[in-house]
């Protein structure tokens, strides 16, 4: 694995992919943190397994209802994955918090969580790059005579005649509630239309560059995507804490896994709705400020369009949603692997008992 990461880093350096190289370095640091967590779990497993808690609390803090057979069986009603050390036993009415084999399964789960998160982030990055390839033709169109004629700075037009305003500013945009309702459904279709791309490109050039400058807006978006990838590929302490909270509070009757699985969906839908509403809001602002415009409409994006005036908050929410998705996928596969192994052992034992 180290050799693969090393050659991948060399390839990024040769291709001058500095942002991706930095993201790879963050992946290496995450793997080092992961190894340290695994080492801590290995060293402290014996001591953690000797932490005793009341049997009533142990029966309550279970993801599934405790059956009567398990309650009167071995292990003081606690369904351990393995036997506790022979030279240690909890006092009467107390049970071990986590078995030694349970801790072993925990750091296996943590390892696969990090692997799935990095893989999930890489897939998201690849899908984002695939999305920007669609804009390549639109960027080429900016060099055509047709585009220069439509963006002629000496041409006057009414604001409601422009394609951008016609698509986003209508009777429903006058109401904030209706604007967000329409924006919610729009995200399920083509999120960025050709008119949106060209208008945002023109507004960016007008704000940061001199008029008539030849600028490849798509390559700028591509580089920005790589910079954002450095943020979403890491696992911050709050994300580790959220995963730990899901596992600790997975109590029978609370249905925590169901509620936590809806969080990424709600976050992504909220972000998609907000971004569509921002585009619609910019179109409304054009109609409110101007009746006649010269050339293409110039949009002005402000931090006030975003939640609490912090555009970077959107990126952190996407990071959180990606991590939660990776956690749910890891948990799903982890449970299925444990079930398949359990059924395999039962089937193998039953077959041997029938044969002999």
b/e per residue 220-232 (b: at least 16 CB within 10 A) = ebbeeebebbbbb
Whole-angstrom Cα distance, residue 289 to residue 92?
77
Tell which residue, 253, 213, 246, 239, has the closest CA to residue 64.
253
pTM: 0.75
CB 229 within 8 A of CB 125: yes
Q: What is the pLDDT of residues 119-166, one digit of tens each?
A: 887 888 888 888 888 888 888 888 777 777 666 666 667 777 777 788
Cα dist. 28→5, 54, 76, 318, 356 in Å?
8, 41, 43, 21, 51
Whole-angstrom Cα distance, residue 323 to residue 123?
13
Q: What is the pLDDT of residues 69-99, one digit of tens each?
A: 444 444 444 444 344 444 567 787 787 777 7
pLDDT value at position 72? 47
CB 160 within 8 A of CB 268: no
Q: Give helix 256-289 / helix 176-186 axis angle, nearest 10°.
A: 120
HSE on the CB side for 288, CA within 13 Å? 10
């Amino acid at each position: 694995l180290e050799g693969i990461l090393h050659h991948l880093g060399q390839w990024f350096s040769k291709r001058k992919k500095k942002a991706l190289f930095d993201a790879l370095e963050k992946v290496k640091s995450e793997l080092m943190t992961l190894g340290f967590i695994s080492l801590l779990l290995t060293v402290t497993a014996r001591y953690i397994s000797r932490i005793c808690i009341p049997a009533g609390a142990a029966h309550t803090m279970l993801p599934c209802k405790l059956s009567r057979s398990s309650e009167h069986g071995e292990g003081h009603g606690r369904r351990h994955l393995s036997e506790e050390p022979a030279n240690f036993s909890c006092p009467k009415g107390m049970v071990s918090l986590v078995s030694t084999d349970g801790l072993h399964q925990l750091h296996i789960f943590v390892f696969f969580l990090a692997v799935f998160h990095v893989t999930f982030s890489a897939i998201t990055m690849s899908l984002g790059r695939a999305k920007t390839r669609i804009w390549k033709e639109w960027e080429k169109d900016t060099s055509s005579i047709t585009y220069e004629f439509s963006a002629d700075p000496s041409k006057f037009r009414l604001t409601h005649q422009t394609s951008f305003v016609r698509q986003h500013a209508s009777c429903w945009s006058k109401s904030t509630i209706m604007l967000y309702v329409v924006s919610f459904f729009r995200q399920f279709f083509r999120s960025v239309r050709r008119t949106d791309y060209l208008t945002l490109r023109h507004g960016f050039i007008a704000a940061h560059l001199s008029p008539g400058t030849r600028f490849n807006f798509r390559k700028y978006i591509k580089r920005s995507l790589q910079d954002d990838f450095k943020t979403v590929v890491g696992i911050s302490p709050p994300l580790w804490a959220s995963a730990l909270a899901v596992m600790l509070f997975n109590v029978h009757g609370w249905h925590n896994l169901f509620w936590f699985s809806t969080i990424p969906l709600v976050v992504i839908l909220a972000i998609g709705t907000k971004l569509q509403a921002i585009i619609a809001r910019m179109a409304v602002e054009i109609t409110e400020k101007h009746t006649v415009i010269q050339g293409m409409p110039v949009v002005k994006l402000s931090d006030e369009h975003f939640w609490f005036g912090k555009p970077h908050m959107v990126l952190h929410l996407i990071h959180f949603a990606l991590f939660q998705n990776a956690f749910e996928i890891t948990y799903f596969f982890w449970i299925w692997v444990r079930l398949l192994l359990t059924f395999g052992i039962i089937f193998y034992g039953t077959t041997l008992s029938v044969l002999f």
